[in-house]
């Protein structure tokens, strides 16, 4: 079970400590003065990745006195945008906000046009966001334990939606089935907005959705929330118990992190990391992230690189086991 857990202490340790890290003089004196930067979002506008990207771009742009253009390059599970950044000039002008696809796509797609390790320099993780197990109001169960019992009594009957093959929303469902010994039918969508509408209408039974998008519907009473996917309660939604209380070893977060093209100058990487982490302590930004149920991180490039490797191991094994493939 240990491979299925995330070392959250390593990710969250010392948020304020890095503020004392000295910035490299060359990065301070020459970069990014007078330059227009690009932050590539490999997904459509309005999703959690896009919202967090715009919050960070706004904060850093003001801190640096420069313009940071948020550029959406969606498609192929994030591969189009990621490939664009991998091939960009490594001069600090272009960087990427990535999520779980950075760890999983190499196992889901027959061939990638980039290497998620060799072609990128980790910068820092912005945030962890729990997913929320949500079910339609017609499903005859009242909590996670009853859902498991119902699924076991009706193998293959329940359907769970996702925002696409290989997303954290999908992989939550696969991990849930593995740890509970249940069998459900996966229904992938192009995004969770349509999946949620089908859930409300009763056309699918459940979703392990991003809490940012799911919570308003739960609060409105159009669907029900059973539990969060992280091992501990979310500070911004403490009324939802962790699924792990019913399913030991279940611990999944959506994560959002900054990467640059490989060979980007280390001084630039250090400055982006240091100033991003400093920005995450700003009360105004923290308030906006709280509204998204996003837990700020700001770990070091080395810690992000190690985390990416652990995600690759964890999800790679599960993807191979279930035979998930993306087109």
Give me the residue label for tokens 């009473």: 221
pLDDT value at residue 292 = 82
pLDDT value at residue 225 = 97
For the cut 90, the answer to whether the pLDDT of residue 308 exceeds it is: yes
Cα torsion at 226, 227, 228, 233 (round to 10°)?
A: 140
How far apart are the C-alpha atoms of 215 and 79, rounded to whole Å?
A: 28
pLDDT value at residue 9 = 46
pLDDT value at residue 29 = 53
Say what percent of the chain tops pLDDT 90.
Answer: 73
Please count the helices (runs of H) and the strands (runs of E) in the chain. Answer: 12, 10
Judge contact between 184 and 151, C-beta under 8 A: yes
For the cut 70, the answer to whether the pLDDT of residue 206 exceeds it is: yes
Question: Over the chain, what is the mean pLDDT?
Answer: 89
Q: How many CA atoms lie within 13 A of 24 on its CB side?
A: 14
How far apart are the C-alpha atoms of 296 and 310, rounded to whole Å?
A: 19
> CATH 3.40.190.150 spans which residues of the chain?
2-128+254-322
CA-to-CA dists, residue 252 to 2, 114, 132, 170, 208, angstroms: 13, 25, 10, 11, 10
pLDDT value at residue 24 = 40
For the cut 60, the answer to whether the pLDDT of residue 156 exceeds it is: yes
From the options 3.40.190.10, 2.40.50.140, 3.90.1150.10, 2.70.70.10, give the CATH code of 130-245: 3.40.190.10
Residue 280 has φ and ψ, to the nearest 5°, of -70, -10
pLDDT value at residue 301 = 98
How far apart are the C-alpha atoms of 156 and 177, rounded to whole Å?
A: 11
pLDDT in tens, 18-71: 333 444 444 445 789 889 999 999 988 877 889 999 999 999 999 999 999 999
Q: Which residue has the higher pLDDT, 104 or 168?
A: 104
pLDDT value at residue 175 = 95
Strand partners, 40: 71, 96
How far apart are the C-alpha atoms of 29 and 52, rounded to whole Å?
A: 28
> CATH 3.40.190.10 spans which residues of the chain?
130-245
In the CATH scheme, what is the homologous superfamily, with its name and number, of domain 2-128+254-322?
Answer: Bordetella uptake gene, domain 1 (3.40.190.150)
How far apart are the C-alpha atoms of 222 and 115, rounded to whole Å?
A: 42
For the cut 70, the answer to whether the pLDDT of residue 7 exceeds it is: no
pLDDT in tens, 102-143: 999 999 999 999 999 999 999 999 999 999 999 999 999 999
Judge contact between 170 and 162, C-beta under 8 A: yes
Strand partners, 124: 258
Q: Which residue has the higher pLDDT, 44 or 10?
A: 44
Judge contact between 68 and 60, C-beta under 8 A: yes
pLDDT value at residue 217 = 94
- 3-state class percentages of the chain: helix first, strand second, coil last, to nearest 5: 45, 20, 35
Judge contact between 97 and 56, C-beta under 8 A: yes
For the cut 70, the answer to whether the pLDDT of residue 195 exceeds it is: yes
Arithmetic mean of pLDDT, 258-278: 97
For the cut 50, the answer to whether the pLDDT of residue 263 exceeds it is: yes
CA-to-CA dists, residue 320 to 123, 127, 184, 282, angstroms: 28, 27, 18, 41
For the cut 80, the answer to whether the pLDDT of residue 1 exceeds it is: no
């Amino acid at each position: 079970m240990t491979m299925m857990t995330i070392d959250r202490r390593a990710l969250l340790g010392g948020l304020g400590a890095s503020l004392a890290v000295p910035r490299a003089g060359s990065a301070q004196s020459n970069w990014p003065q007078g330059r227009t930067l690009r932050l590539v979002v490999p997904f459509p506008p309005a999703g959690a990745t896009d919202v967090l990207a715009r919050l960070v771009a706004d904060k850093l742009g003001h801190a640096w006195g420069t313009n940071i253009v948020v550029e959406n390059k969606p498609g192929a599970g994030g591969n189009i945008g990621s490939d664009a950044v991998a091939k960009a000039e490594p001069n600090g002008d272009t960087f990427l906000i990535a999520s779980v696809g950075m760890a999983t796509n190499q196992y889901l797609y027959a061939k990638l046009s980039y290497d998620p390790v060799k072609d990128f320099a980790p910068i820092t993780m912005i945030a962890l966001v729990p997913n929320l197990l949500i079910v339609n109001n017609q499903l005859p169960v009242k909590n996670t334990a009853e859902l498991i019992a119902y699924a076991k009594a009706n193998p293959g009957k329940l359907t769970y939606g996702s925002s696409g093959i290989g997303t954290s929303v999908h992989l939550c469902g696969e991990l849930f089935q593995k740890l509970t010994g249940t069998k459900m039918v996966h229904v992938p969508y192009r995004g969770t907005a349509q999946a949620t509408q089908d859930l409300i209408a009763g056309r699918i039974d459940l979703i392990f959705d991003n809490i940012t998008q799911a919570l308003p519907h739960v609060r409105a009473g159009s669907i029900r929330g059973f539990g969060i996917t992280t091992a501990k309660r979310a500070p911004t939604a403490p009324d939802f118990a962790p699924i792990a209380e019913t399913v030991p070893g279940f611990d999944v977060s959506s994560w959002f992190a900054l990467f640059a093209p490989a060979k980007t100058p280390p001084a630039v990487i250090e400055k982006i990391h240091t100033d991003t982490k400093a920005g995450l302590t700003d009360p105004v930004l923290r308030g906006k992230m709280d509204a998204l149920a996003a837990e700020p991180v700001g770990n070091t490039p080395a810690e992000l690189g190690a985390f990416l490797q652990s995600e690759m191991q964890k999800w790679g094994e599960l993807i191979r086991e279930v035979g998930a493939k993306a087109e």
